[in-house]
């Protein structure tokens, strides 16, 4: 495939630095017709499904894409807002807030943009647009605190594919993960404490992370370790022990073993053991989405109450709250040290 043609950037325009936030993605509408191409791109990614390509192609196009779009559309319809997809709306708000935070503190021209790994706007589209705007130094910040080949690894693939098509790629840095970042842990803790102050604390706190197949971890993926490292740091910060803060993994599909314990089985077990009020937070998600708003706050709430619990409270993701913006801004500044656009502006208070 030929490389992209010259995009219209002037050679004498001032160079800018940019930050490209990347989130998972979302369909354009909560309909089966909109879900089909989105799921085809998502589930067709060899980073997400590590099966022989010929076999998975037959399964995906022969079975899954005939059935799952309608089911997923029903789930998306339960959380869709007048503004659109919660993940897209929340991610856009986060990007705007981060741009404002960086502009206030730094002297050089800085551009913050948002891309979706699957769906629109794509990583390639946004990188090319930023190049047209004069961005010559670019930090890629996947909105996945814990690294997995299925998430951050796939973003790196998309960035590499985009660079292959560019005649003049930008200077590039990538944030691999921020699972144990002090600012991030503090933002999570303050969010939970604020929730407890407003709504009263439950008997236990469950941290639910997105699951991946166990064989991915067996092959060397650090995700499981990083999830537990996040949980351990948050447990220490909140002053809880292992019986008060527990961990689960959600969203498993298929018959092979995924990371355990499973969230749905855990909430049922806790209810059967007599827990009446359960709080659930999802520290692997920077912005609320289908997996938090529908799977946890609705499906798992029903599992909990059906098993004898009284109330499952979902504690929202950090979204665009000030603590997350501050922690991400600090993360950006650490990863862009030496870039002149990110030098401190000493003329501002």
pLDDT digits (tens, 9 = 90+) for 68-84: 999 999 999 999 999 99
CB 32 within 8 A of CB 70: yes
CATH fold, domain 16-177+323-342, is Rossmann fold (3.40.50)
In the predicted model, what is the mean pLDDT of residues 327-333?
97
Going from N- to C-terminal start, the domains of the chain cover 16-177+323-342, 182-314
Q: Report strand pairing: 110-118 vs 171-174.
A: unpaired
Mean residue pLDDT of the chain comes to: 94
Q: Report strand pairing: 135-142 vs 245-250.
A: unpaired
pLDDT, tens digit, 9 for 90 and up, residues 177-205: 999 999 999 999 999 999 999 999 999 99
Residue 210 in marked binding region: yes
Report in angstroms the alpha-carbon separations of 240 from 23, 190, 203, 255: 31, 14, 11, 34
Residue 256 in marked binding region: no
The mean-pLDDT minimum among 288-297, 323-332, 340-349 falls in 340-349
Answer yes or no: same fold for 16-177+323-342 and 182-314.
Answer: yes
Ramachandran assignment for 344, one of left (phi > 0), alpha (psi -120 to 50 degrees), beta (any other)? beta
CATH fold, domain 182-314, is Rossmann fold (3.40.50)
In the predicted model, what is the mean pLDDT of residues 267-277?
98
Please check the confidence at residue 51 and state whether its pLDDT lies above 70. Answer: yes
pTM of the model: 0.94
Q: Which residues contact residue 316 at a Cβ distance below 8 angstroms, ignoring those fewer than 6 apart?
A: 191, 195, 288, 292
Please check the confidence at residue 176 and state whether its pLDDT lies above 90. Answer: yes
């Amino acid at each position: 495939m030929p490389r992209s043609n010259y995009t219209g950037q002037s050679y004498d325009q001032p160079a800018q630095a940019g930050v490209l936030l990347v989130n998972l993605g979302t369909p354009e509408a909560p309909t089966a017709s909109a879900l089909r191409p989105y799921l085809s791109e998502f589930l067709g990614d060899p980073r997400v499904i590590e099966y022989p390509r010929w076999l998975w192609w037959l399964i995906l196009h022969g079975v899954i894409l005939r059935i799952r779009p309608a089911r997923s559309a029903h789930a998306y319809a339960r959380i869709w807002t007048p503004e659109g997809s919660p993940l897209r709306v929340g991610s856009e708000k986060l990007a705007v807030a981060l741009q404002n935070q960086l502009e206030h503190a730094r002297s050089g021209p800085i551009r913050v943009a948002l891309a979706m790994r699957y769906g629109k706007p794509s990583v390639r589209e946004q990188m090319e647009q930023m190049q047209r705007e004069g961005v010559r130094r670019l930090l890629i910040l996947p909105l996945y605190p814990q690294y997995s080949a299925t998430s951050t690894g796939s973003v790196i693939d998309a960035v590499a594919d985009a660079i292959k098509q560019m005649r003049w790629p930008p200077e590039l840095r990538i944030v691999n993960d921020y699972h144990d970042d002090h600012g991030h842990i503090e933002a999570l803790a303050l969010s939970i404490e604020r929730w407890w102050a407003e709504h009263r604390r439950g008997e236990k706190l469950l941290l639910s992370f997105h699951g991946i197949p166990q064989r991915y971890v067996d092959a060397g993926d650090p995700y499981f370790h990083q999830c537990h490292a996040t949980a351990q740091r948050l447990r220490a910060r909140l002053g809880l022990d292992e019986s008060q803060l527990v961990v689960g993994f959600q969203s498993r599909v298929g018959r092979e073993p995924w990371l355990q314990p499973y969230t749905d089985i855990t909430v049922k077990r806790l209810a059967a053991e007599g827990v009446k009020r359960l709080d659930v937070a999802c520290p692997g998600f920077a912005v609320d989405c289908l997996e938090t708003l529908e799977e946890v706050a609705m499906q798992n709430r029903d599992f909990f109450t059906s098993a004898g619990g009284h109330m499952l409270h979902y504690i929202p993701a950090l979204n665009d709250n000030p603590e997350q913006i501050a922690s991400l801004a600090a993360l950006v500044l650490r990863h862009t040290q030496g870039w002149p656009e990110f030098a401190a502006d000493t003329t501002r208070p």
